Amino acid sequence: MRDLGGERVEEAVAGALALLRTATDRDWDGVRADRLEWNCQRTAEHLAGALFAYAGQLASRPRDAYVPFEITLEEGTDQDGLLDVVGTAAALLVAAFRATPRRARAFHPFPFRSANREGFAAMGVAETLLHTRDIADGLGLTYTPAPELAEYVLTRIFPTVRPGPDPWQTLLWATGRGELPGREPVTEWRWSNNLVLPADRLTLEGVTPAAAADLCAGGDGGFDWLDGGPFEGTLEAAGMMLKAYEAGVHRPEFGLFALVRRSDGHAVGGMGFHGAPDEEVQAEVGYDLVEGARGHGYATEALRALSEWALARDDVRSLFATVEADNTPSQAVLSRAGFRQVSEDLDDEGLLAYQLRR
């Protein structure tokens, strides 16, 4: 899976600048940007500042806060000069993106307090598309970006939004800027970067809908897999997650995680949930490892980390897992992670049931 973040930022900003430069002779101060409280001038300044801030986050990678700086334009800067600043900020974001390792993360508050370089690129594209549309609407211009740009944003930082036939119209609806037949208007929204959970030797990296789709298509999902992985169970989980996303019921915190080894960055397996907690406030977990990673305690370590995180939530009271009667290694993983067998007999599918309560 190619990480197209830099190219997508360049494409989005090039299209935005090409359109907005046709209207630099107009009064941007006196025109409101669509439904925003800002005028067109202030909206363009915000766009430049956001792109610059994302570049700064990737360059310094702070863990707990934004880098404390902002853009200040020289007095008398005209619209052409402002758009030059937007282009410069975008170029800095692209450069920072390409210089940042794929697994590195930096602070961003929504919703899990960090983002990787793909997340920052998607946020940069979103800022560009949406605020260019805001400005264009205020100035009476027509703006329709390439659908691939909107799809890039939706499949990376809008994982709970059910896809629609037109990605651009879906993105506008998801951000309160438009309507979609059969869907209620959106009045409040946040984008969502993927969740990452730390363990001792591993990092559990939340798989985005874009990555799940790539895995289902035979790709690597953006991960460097050990021994030519992923294994069959991870591919099945990616398929389940993609179906949930396409149905609009996916909750990313209860999705699939790739188990990435800290020592070398290799993905050694997959672990996650079969969906959100049920009416009994119980969530089912599953996992597998590539063959070359088995026997090292990775599954136990990851399951302990995932269980601790899940059971600390108000919406999870217990975890549930099933395992084949002859799969003694997996049974041992569950037992070491604190799960207890809750069925003496096999179910209709020949599986034993295990549970871990809060």
- pLDDT tens track, the chain, 358 positions: 999 999 999 999 999 999 999 999 999 999 999 989 999 999 999 999 999 999 999 999 999 999 999 999 999 999 999 999 999 999 999 999 999 999 999 999 989 999 999 999 999 999 999 999 999 999 999 999 999 999 999 999 999 999 999 999 999 999 999 999 999 999 999 999 999 999 999 999 999 999 999 999 999 999 999 998 899 999 999 999 999 999 999 999 999 999 999 999 999 999 999 999 999 999 999 999 999 999 999 999 999 999 999 999 999 999 999 999 999 999 999 999 999 999 776 666 789 999 999 9
Give the pLDDT of residue 16: 98
Give the pLDDT of residue 211: 98
Number of H helices, E strands in the chain: 10, 11
- CA dist list (Å): 98 to 7, 65, 101, 255, 335: 10, 22, 8, 28, 43
Give the pLDDT of residue 346: 65
- CA dist list (Å): 192 to 72, 153, 189: 29, 10, 10
Bridge-based pairing state of the strands 266-273 and 224-225: parallel
- CA dist list (Å): 112 to 57, 240, 356: 15, 23, 25
Is 210 in contact with 163 (CB distance < 8 Å)? no
DSSP assignment of 315-355? T-SEEEEEEETT-HHHHHHHHHTT-EE--SS--TTSEEEEE
| Cα dihedral 129→130→136→139 (10° resolution) | -150
Can you list the positions of beta strands (E) in 8-141?
105-106, 115-116
Q: Please, which residues have CB within 8 angstroms of residue 147's CB and are 6 or more apart in sequence?
A: 166, 167, 168
- Homologous superfamily of 5-174 in CATH? dinb family like domain (1.20.120.450)
* CATH code for the domain defined by 196-357: 3.40.630.30
Q: Which of 327, 229, 344, 226 is nearest to 286 (CA)?
A: 327
Give the pLDDT of residue 343: 79
Domain boundaries of the chain, sorted by first residue: 5-174, 196-357
